[in-house]
């Protein structure tokens, strides 16, 4: 399978190496939660009330992402995320989400491939929205397909996606926020046990 090796260390060692980066990403989310103390402006309050059954919204933003192959082998990269949400209830939405990131790889003891490693995802899931003062906290979970490519080698996997996003509404139809997502490669957890992305979001809500 693409980017796999019999010399790969155990999953315990890999997860230990990825812990510090995952903690860093989660700390960003925790810091944003502190925005709950922001004053709830009238525009933000009206915006929260604007979300009702039948509302459609779209979010887009640049992404910082990193992969974990092995201890000390954690290439970072960047890309973009796009999601569409249909709110069939006031606080629950059907979500379609996709993203693409690129990571520069160099040869290592366990991997002879080098070049630009591209990762794309597309999935479907649910989003649950909580109103917290001036901030919307959104919990997300779903299933997805993951596509990866380097040079002429390609592979696809089945996986899961869980995330958390925060949005501060500037008005009824425009919001700014931050999202953190973890992607699990169910069909190749040993090869890529951690793929995490974080980045700002621009959200547009259709009337």
Backbone angles phi, psi at 152, to 5 degrees: -100, 5
**Torsion angle of alpha carbons 77, 99, 155, 11, nearest 10°?**
60
* Closest by CA position to 79, among listed 58, 60, 105: 60
110 three-state secondary structure: coil
Q: Is the pLDDT of residue 4 over 70?
A: no
- All residues at 6 or more sequence positions from 15 whose CB lies less than 8 Å from its CB, including other chains: 193, 194
pLDDT tens digits, 124-173: 999 999 876 668 899 999 999 999 888 888 889 999 999 999 998 888 88
Q: Is the pLDDT of residue 190 over 80?
A: no
Question: Where do the domains of the chain lie?
Answer: 11-206
Mean pLDDT of 195-204: 94
Assign a CATH topology to domain 11-206: Porin (2.40.160)
Predicted local distance difference test score (pLDDT) of residue 17: 45
Q: Give bridge partners of residue 181 from the DSSP assignment.
A: 163, 197
Give the Cα separation of 79 and 63 in Å (integer): 5
Q: Is the pLDDT of residue 108 over 50?
A: yes
pTM across the whole model? 0.74
Residue 13 C-beta-side C-alpha neighbours within 13 Å: 10
pLDDT tens digits, 12-67: 443 444 455 555 555 555 555 554 444 445 555 555 555 667 889 999 999 999 88
Predicted local distance difference test score (pLDDT) of residue 20: 54
């Amino acid at each position: 399978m693409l980017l796999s090796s019999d010399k790969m260390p155990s999953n315990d060692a890999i997860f230990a190496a990825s812990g510090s980066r995952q903690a860093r990403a989660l700390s960003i989310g925790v810091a944003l939660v502190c925005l709950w103390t922001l004053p709830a402006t009238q525009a933000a309050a009206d915006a929260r009330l604007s979300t009702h059954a039948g509302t459609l919204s779209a979010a887009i933003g640049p992404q910082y992402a990193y992969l974990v192959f092995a201890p000390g082998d954690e290439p970072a990269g960047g890309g973009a995320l796009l999601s569409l949400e249909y709110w069939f209830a006031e606080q629950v939405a059907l979500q379609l989400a996709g993203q693409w990131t690129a990571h520069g790889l160099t040869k290592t003891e366990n991997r002879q491939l080098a070049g630009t490693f591209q990762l794309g995802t597309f999935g479907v899931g649910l989003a649950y929205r909580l109103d917290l003062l001036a901030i919307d906290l959104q919990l997300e979970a779903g299933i997805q397909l993951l596509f990866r490519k380097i040079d002429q080698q390609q592979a696809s996997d089945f996986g899961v996606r869980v995330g958390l996003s925060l949005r501060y509404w500037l008005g009824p139809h425009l919001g700014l926020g931050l999202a953190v997502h973890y992607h699990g490669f169910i069909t190749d957890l040993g090869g890529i046990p951690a793929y995490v992305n974080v980045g700002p979001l621009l959200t547009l809500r259709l009337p």
